[in-house]
Chains A and B, each alone.
Chain A
């Protein structure tokens, strides 16, 4: 049972990182356009424009 002392904090830490990631993604508006994000991944971005001088 000694393993629990290590494993429980580790699992909580991992879960906490996941939750923090979710909250960050929500705050940076990544959940605002789910349809667009799903479609966007299928296309290449190829900016063919020379940078403005």
Chain B
């Protein structure tokens, strides 16, 4: 399965100088072995458990295992199930579980807990199953243990992987195993018949029956995936590749059976079973590659899924999923929390609504003003009265808009389907003509005519054609996966190759989408002290400050004054009022003041991504002129457009306007690639010819996108387009090759010269050529 690839480690040197011993991130000056206290703690924990050999073998990305200073507190106990008395079982999704050593570390660290009976992690699914004896509340201790090691956990939800999908994959693998077994064993018997020219007719008859005994059940059982799909296509009145495959395989098996009955010179069971095995192998790989991408998307979504703190009448808090909250309930929104539901507050609230409206600066919402779901609380914690339940709220309305846009887009016809629409009727016509010519014109016995006609079907049975596109897809999708690009739709690469226009969102796409400290010559020592304090808080600005100085150690004795700031001894960090400077409406400034010393202001702004201009230029070179479409105000949009080198821009575009612009482009015959991250982009993403969302996009945008870029920045986009175009051209070459091969092979079959040996040789060799050609598809 190595062809499918695995995310490449960025830095694999584990204990070299200058890298954190635990997480592998680069060390700042003055740091000895660890980049932060969390890593030092994690390392001590690992070493204490006697698991230090982990560091010699891990292959994680640098910094991926850095424990969060203030991990989100989520009560895991309700997610534990009790299959038996006294026994608890919990399924978790574990992010950061990217290598065998991580699996080992997680399993061993949990198994070392006294009451844990078993811990089993799946590297493919990133799923961890723990069983233990005792109370359900232990789930939180175990989750905290993983968090201290640097793994982020979320409860496993059915959305992570649909159960049916899993079952379908298993059915395909089973069919492949049966077909491979059958084709090899039938081949053993068939080779004896091919070379045994001196064989007596009785023995040959016996061998024919033996081949039929193995071949018939295999054809019936292993071919089921094709027959089912062919039947569906037939009822829809659309000839498909699967229909051609099913007819070819079934006709070959039927003809072989009749040859067995009359003890003809050859049977073709080996060809039929080999064809099934090759095609099923292509399908299994194709599926595995895409499943892996979908899995990673599901993982991102599961980590974003959060609980809502509902306020009970008696004043207690209860963590419940957002779906369980009804209109009229009161929920607590902590500082830095994302609103999961629409509502209104009795007090003023400072919200960052970038994801819902595209505004890049947080805005003050007056008491009673409707608050949109998806916004992030940048101010103090407040209590909100929910105005609509999850399924009636603005997020659900956006999801419905997205659904309609997807339906309106219509079904994209993949190149393989387009080819088979011409191919299937032609091939069947040739086969029918062959039968009529031999039987009616040349007066051959009907058995001979049938054998020749079926030979036409067998040899044209689009083995190479059916492998032509999936093989390329597997290689290209695997190559992109290694580059951190997830391809979630089967036809995404094909559509991307045809894109000729790119529409970009501003906030979160061209810009970082989160506050970044403006370098204004602050004193490094002050910055370090402030960042150390900021590390203790989950407030977005505090986190931005901590990110600006990652080497600052967590300050001791920090106390958070909700909604105001942080206190550590005489030092204060927070709003300007909190530091005694009077109020300021600007939600993007933090002030640091040590006692009565001079206050230092840290200003933050959303910044253009470092690679935005270069990526826009590279897209232009590839023939995709860029256009900026944002919900933000005119000034901010114009500035970003100028910096990124985009001539065409539009400000104050709401979700419907964005979708309308995409529709207008499509109507004008363009093939727009939409790149966006916000809830307000989702409908436009779904409507576009092809769509992508950058790292950190909202879950709605990721669901609507064909591609998800996992790594920071947009620089992957031009490379993805190049790979998609390359893949498309290789797919065309492969289809062309299979057609040429048919032009040569069909006359041979029509003339009745095909023996099972020739059929087996051409089938295997053409498939091999197509697969080898496809291997080139991952190169940029």
* Cβ of B115 under 8 Å from chain A: yes
Which among A31, A33, A45, A49 is the interface contact of B173 at CB below 8 angstroms? A31
Chain B proximity mask over A25-53: 1 for CB below 8 Å, otherwise 0? 01000011111101110110111111010
CB < 8 Å: which of A8, A26, A47 contacts B177? Answer: A26
A26-B170, A32-B125, A35-B6 known; A40 and B177 CB under 8 Å? no
Q: Provide the residues of chain B in CB contact with A40, threshold 8 Å.
A: 100, 103-104
One of A22, A36, A46, A47 near B124 (C-beta < 8 A): A36
* Cα–Cα, bound, A42→B115 (Å): 26
The answer to whether B104 touches A43, judged by C-beta atoms less than 8 angstroms apart, is yes
User: When chains A and B are docked, how far (Å) is the Cα of A40 from the Cα of B214?
Assistant: 36
For A26, A39, A42, the residue with the greatest tally of chain B CB atoms inside 10 Å of its CB is: A39
With contacts A39-B101, A49-B114 known, is A34 near B181, CB below 8 A?
no
B174 touches A36 (CB 8 A): no
Query: Chain B contact residues (Cβ within 8 angstroms of A): what range?
Result: 20 to 34
Q: Is A1 an interface residue (CB 8 A)?
A: yes
| A38 vs B124: C-alpha distance when bound (angstroms) | 11
A1-B203, A31-B170, A48-B50 given; A36·B112 CB < 8 A: no
Which of A1, A11, A43, A52 is most buried by chain B, counting CB atoms within 10 A of its CB? Answer: A43
Task: Determine whether the beta carbon of B1 is less than 8 Å from that of A35.
Answer: yes
Q: With A34-B124, A47-B111, A49-B111 as given contacts, are A39 and B185 in contact (CB-CB < 8 Å)?
A: no
Cα(A4)–Cα(B210), bound, Å: 12
- Give CA–CA (A26, B214) in the complex, Å: 21
Q: Tell me if A10 is interfacial: C-beta within 8 Å of chain B.
A: no
Cα–Cα distance between A32 and B112 once the two chains are bound (Å):
25
**CB-CB < 8 A to A47: which residues of B?**
111
A33 in contact with B122 given A8-B210, A19-B178, A26-B170 (CB within 8 Å): yes
Residues in A whose Cβ lies below 8 Å from that of B111:
47, 49
Closest Cβ–Cβ distance, residue A9 to chain B (whole Å): 10
Q: Is the CB of A32 within 8 A of B124?
A: yes
Per-position 1/0 for B145-172, Cβ under 8 A of A: 0000000000000000000001000100
Question: Interface size on A (CB < 8 Å)?
Answer: 29
| Chain A residues, Cβ within 8 Å of B178 | 19
B123, A33: Cβ atoms closer than 8 Å: yes
**Cross-chain contact A48 with B103 (CB below 8 angstroms):** no
A12 contacts chain B at the CB level, 8 A cutoff: yes
Interface bits B597-631 vs A (CB < 8 Å: 1, else 0): 00000000000000000000000000000000000
Q: How far is the CA of A1 from the CA of B202 in the complex (A)?
A: 12
Output the nearest chain B residue to A9 by Cβ-Cβ distance.
B210
What separation, in Å, do the CA atoms of A52 and B115 have in the docked complex? 7
Does A42 contact B185, Cβ atoms closer than 8 Å?
Answer: no
CB proximity of A34 to chain B, nearest CB, Å: 6
**Nearest chain B CB to A46's CB is how many angstroms away?**
8
Q: How far is the CA of A15 from the CA of B104 in the complex (A)?
A: 35
Check if B99 is an interface residue, CB within 8 A of chain A.
Answer: yes
Residue B121 interfacial (CB < 8 Å): yes
Q: B123, B188, B214: which has the most chain A beta carbons within 10 Å?
A: B123
Query: Is B661's beta carbon under 8 Å from chain A?
Result: no
> Of residues A33, A42, A48, which shows the largest number of chain B Cβ atoms within 10 Å of its Cβ?
A33
Contact B188 A11 (CB under 8 A): yes
Q: Does B428 contact A (CB under 8 A)?
A: no
Measured CB to CB, the nearest residue on chain A to B103 is: A36
- 28 pairs, A vs B, C-beta closer than 8 Å: A12-B185, A15-B181, A15-B184, A19-B177, A19-B178, A19-B181, A22-B181, A26-B173, A26-B174, A33-B125, A34-B1, A35-B100, A35-B123, A36-B100, A36-B123, A38-B100, A39-B100, A39-B101, A39-B103, A39-B123, A40-B100, A43-B57, A43-B100, A45-B108, A46-B108, A49-B112, A49-B114, A52-B114
Report which A residues bind B (CB closer than 8 A): 1, 4, 8, 11-12, 15, 18-19, 22-23, 26, 31-36, 38-40, 42-43, 45-50, 52
